[in-house]
Amino acid sequence: MNLKPKLLILALIATFASAATAGEAEIRDAVRQVKATAVVKSIKDVPNTGLKEVIADSTVIYMDDMGQYLFFGTLLDLKSKKNLTEDAQSVARVSSLASIPASEKIVLKAPNEKFRVTVFTDVSCSYCKLLHQNEKQYLERGISIEYVAFPRGGSQSESYNVMRQIWCSTDRAAAYALAVEGKPIPAGAACNDPVARHYEIGDGMAIEGTPAIFTADGRQLGGFLAPDQLEAKLKEGTNTVAAVTP
């Protein structure tokens, strides 16, 4: 279970009784009632709102000053035209993404690198296969791709075992290409692969589908994007109200 935000109207999901302004301990306890294993990384005031911004795992949630209501949602500043939730979420994601070393990724480096994206992928995902088919065009546009594993069905899925096999291959990129093209992967020795950890990180980031594309500064660009669309998104580089699609 992840702490996933819901767009549009901020949805009330839980009530916690408190007679006074909530302290950090009460807020942490409230979050753990929603997800027992959640790690609260920061708690701070949202100016002029009476809200507390709480980052739990890599998800942004909000509580009122009394510690009575906890809700998920997207908070927009209409005056500054900023998506405050996405700004905070991006900061949290940077930490999560940074916890995955390059040695655990499948890295396709553009010869003339201008941008770098991390892609959570699943070999059973049709749009991941489409992204793979466009790899050459991304690289030609200066977009390096760093794949990490996110078998959507978790450890019980067939793709989980396939991805473990890929990550234990001596040539991960070649094994990944074979798998997404529906070809068999040469048998290899088992290893201490990072697939379970990658999945846990992605789950903590509230990833629901693949591919999930993230920039170096933590912005989520969405799912599959054609090469020209991804390049335009990377050049845009902003979290604005206009970028929020109901």
Domain residue limits at 124: 98-243
5 in any annotated domain: no
Residue bearing tokens 């499948």? 106
Question: What is the percentage of the chain residues whose pLDDT exceeds 90?
Answer: 57
231 in any annotated domain: yes
pLDDT tens readout for residues 178-218: 999 999 998 888 899 999 999 999 988 889 899 999 998 99
Q: Which of 65, 86, 107 is the last residue of a domain?
A: 86
| Number of other residues whose CB lies within 10 A of the CB of residue 136 | 10
Give the CATH number for residue 215.
Answer: 3.40.30.10
pTM as predicted: 0.79
Which pLDDT does position 188 carry in this prediction?
Answer: 80
Q: Which of 34, 65, 86 is the last residue of a domain?
A: 86
Closest CA to 42 of 50, 33, 31: 31
Domain count, the chain: 2
End-to-end CA distance of the chain: 24
- Do 109 and 65 belong to one domain? no
- Do 136 and 212 belong to one domain? yes
SS3 string of 175-236? HHHHHHCCCCCCCCCCCCCCHHHHHHHHHHCCCCCCCEEEECCCCEEECCCCHHHHHHHHHH
174 in any annotated domain: yes
Give the CATH number for residue 76.
Answer: 3.10.450.70
Is the Cβ–Cβ distance between 139 and 111 less than 8 Å? yes
- CA 83 – CA 74 distance, rounded (Å): 7
- Do 105 and 79 belong to one domain? no
- Do 117 and 179 belong to one domain? yes
- CA 119 – CA 105 distance, rounded (Å): 10
pLDDT tens readout for residues 148-164: 999 999 999 999 999 99
Which pLDDT does position 209 carry in this prediction?
Answer: 94
Closest CA to 90 of 67, 58, 45, 126: 58
- Do 106 and 226 belong to one domain? yes
